[in-house]
Copies of this chain bind each other. A is one copy, B any other.
Amino acid sequence: MKQKIIFTPGPSQLYFTVEDHIRKAFRDGIPSLSHRSKTFEEIFIRATAGLRSLLGIPEHFHIVFTASATEIWERCIQNLVAEQSAHYVNGAFGKRFFETAGQLGKKAEAITASDDEGFTTQQTHDSAELIALTHNETSTGVSLPMAFINGFRETNPQALIAVDAVSSLPYPEFDFTKIDSLFFSVQKGFGLPAGLGVWIVNTRCLERAEQIKSKGALIGTYHNLPSLVSYARKNQTPETPNVLGIYLLAMVVEDMLRRGIKAIRNETEYKAAILYQALEANRFIKPFVRKTEWRSKTVVVADCGTYTKSLTEYLMQKGIQPGEGYGSYHAMQLRFANFPAHSKEQVELLVDLLQNFEP
């Protein structure tokens, strides 16, 4: 049976080298490997050094592993917020980050925008210890411009800036002098099986967690930030982690480094451009996000209205699996991931089909 091309925004299409890496992992006994062994430490080093190189992560940032980005929302609030956080919310995932803070008993403020829009100005949040931003709203395909994210350092110098880049990395190039915490999960842009979150934090974050802890507040147990960082310094994790997931991340990041991050970024932009062009060209569908500056390059959302079902069936017949619209948009939208695992040829095929679609 011919395999479908998976355009769901995560879990998504696997990076094309993953199956080979997993075969080698079994040959080399990686799944039976002790997470306290030298070999595991070498894998940890390859994964983190590779990510540093790929994403330009500076020395004073630590890279730690969790089970998911959902877990990072919780750990982020527990460790970086004693009392108050501010959340920019324009979709389901930004909203869940906001709600996480409430569930943990923090005074959380939400600054909201329409689902198909980003924000225009950085407000000042005098009491917020953390400002939470969702770089790429997976539910709506809205992406915040980098200049907007970078503006918070000046308007809110006292706050830590935490950026959810779950469905955009490795595409975006962040300015690490303007943010303090960045995170993603591997089943999206990295094209890996789900079950691993990656949390990148600077020394300010670590100091904040230690400060909160020293005042007697609870910051969690095995996955509190000081514990995570102290094990990361030994190239280990506090618990037995998803060893195979960390191994596969190391391997795929090295593949991406060989391909070159510039090539990946250029290709992402080319594929996004032809995808939006196809949505503009077909009179039955249109891009959900109207303003081009807010259009995500990595999750392209189409308003398909009453044609949603017929377009889905048409694409499925051609071997293409689109992502369903999120939540209340289920019946009227489709989402198309545009990750490094999606080849130019695959996206061009999708584009041809979208252009030629007639209900």
Interface of A with B (CB < 8 Å)? 3-4, 6, 8, 10-14, 18-19, 22, 26, 29, 31-35, 66-71, 73-74, 99-100, 103-105, 185, 187, 192-196, 218, 220-224, 238-245
Copies of this polypeptide in the complex: 2
Q: Which of B33, B67, B192 contacts A11 (CB 8 A)?
A: B33
Cα distance, A14 to B73, chains bound together (Å): 33
Query: Are A11's CB and B104's CB within 8 A?
Result: no
- How far apart are the CA atoms of A11 and B245 in the complex, in Å? 14
Min CB distance A189 to B, Å, is: 14
CB distance from A184 to the nearest CB of B (A): 12
Q: For A34, what are the chain B residues with a Cβ–Cβ distance below 8 Å? A: 8, 11
Q: Say yes or no: B10 contacts A31, CB within 8 Å.
A: no
24 contacts between A and B (CB under 8 A): A6-B29, A8-B32, A10-B240, A11-B34, A11-B243, A12-B32, A14-B26, A14-B31, A67-B71, A67-B195, A67-B239, A68-B241, A70-B238, A71-B222, A71-B223, A73-B221, A99-B221, A100-B222, A104-B218, A185-B240, A194-B243, A194-B244, A195-B242, A195-B244
Contacts of A194 in B (CB 8 A): 31, 35, 240-244
Tell me what chain A mostly uses at the interface: helix, strand, loop, or mixed: loop
Which B residue's beta carbon lies closest to that of A323?
A: B34
Which of A6, A71, A244 has its CB near the most chain B CB atoms (within 10 A)?
Answer: A244
The residue among A14, A187, A238 with the most chain B CB atoms within 10 A of its own CB is: A187
Known: A11-B31, A11-B243, A193-B244. 11 other contacts (CB 8 A): A6-B32, A8-B32, A12-B32, A31-B192, A35-B194, A70-B222, A70-B240, A74-B221, A74-B223, A194-B241, A195-B245
Q: Considering the chains assembled together, what is the distance between the CA atoms of A105 and B14 in angstroms?
A: 42
User: Which B residues are CB-close (under 8 A) to A8?
Assistant: 32, 34
CB-contact partner of A220 in B74, B99, B224, under 8 A:
B74
- Identity of the chain B residue whose Cβ is nearest the Cβ of A188 in the assembled complex: B240
Closest chain B residue to A321, Cβ basis:
B32
Closest B residue to A66 by CB, please name it.
Answer: B67
